[in-house]
Homo-oligomer: A and B are copies of this chain.
Amino acid sequence: METFHETEIRVRYAETDQMGIVHHSSYLVWFEVGRSDLCRARGFSYREMEEEGDALLVVAESYCRYKSPAYYEDVLTVRTQVAEARSRSLRFHYEVYRAEDDTLVAEGETLHLVTDRNHKVRSLPEVYRERLLDDGADAFPEDQPPS
């Protein structure tokens, strides 16, 4: 029911390390690119949400499982999904595929707390919440638990 948003990425030389493959920290950066792109696809920019909505998505947890190495110049598809939306937190799920052979390269999750610009936890403004979920993501608002 929750559909993935797809973002295409091409591996940069600077993202490799001396093992000849992509450095594992690059995936967290790509997940972030996927999140930004999902927001745009749902009708708002993450930058605008920070500046005008005073809502920041601070990363509270990150997890990544590396299934197959990615190489310089590989074209990858980052599939991003809102996995869970509570009133003050969001969980995203990601899958990274190599476009050429449809290999699953990595998958992961990030958990975010919603804060204002002073890093105080707050609720996600309704306007962004609706847009994020407008694709049917699994929502469990804390004040209205699912029956």
Contacts and interface: CB of A to CB of B under 8 A. Distances in A.
Contact of A72 (B18, B21, B73): B18
A46 interface: yes
A61 B66 CA distance: 6
A84 interface: no
- Counting chain A residues whose Cβ lies within 8 A of the other chain, the interface size class is 35 or more
A59 B65 CA distance: 9
Given A47-B73, A119-B69, A12 B24 contact: no
A13 B71 CA distance: 17
A71 B58 contact: no
Contact of A19 (B21, B25, B56, B73): B56
A133 interface: no
Interface string A26-44: 1011001100100000000
21 contacts: A12-B32, A12-B36, A14-B17, A16-B18, A17-B17, A17-B18, A18-B19, A18-B20, A18-B21, A21-B119, A24-B28, A25-B29, A28-B28, A36-B73, A58-B66, A59-B66, A61-B65, A62-B64, A62-B66, A63-B63, A63-B64
Interface of A: 10, 12-14, 16-21, 23-26, 28-29, 32-33, 36, 45-47, 56, 58-66, 69, 71-73, 119
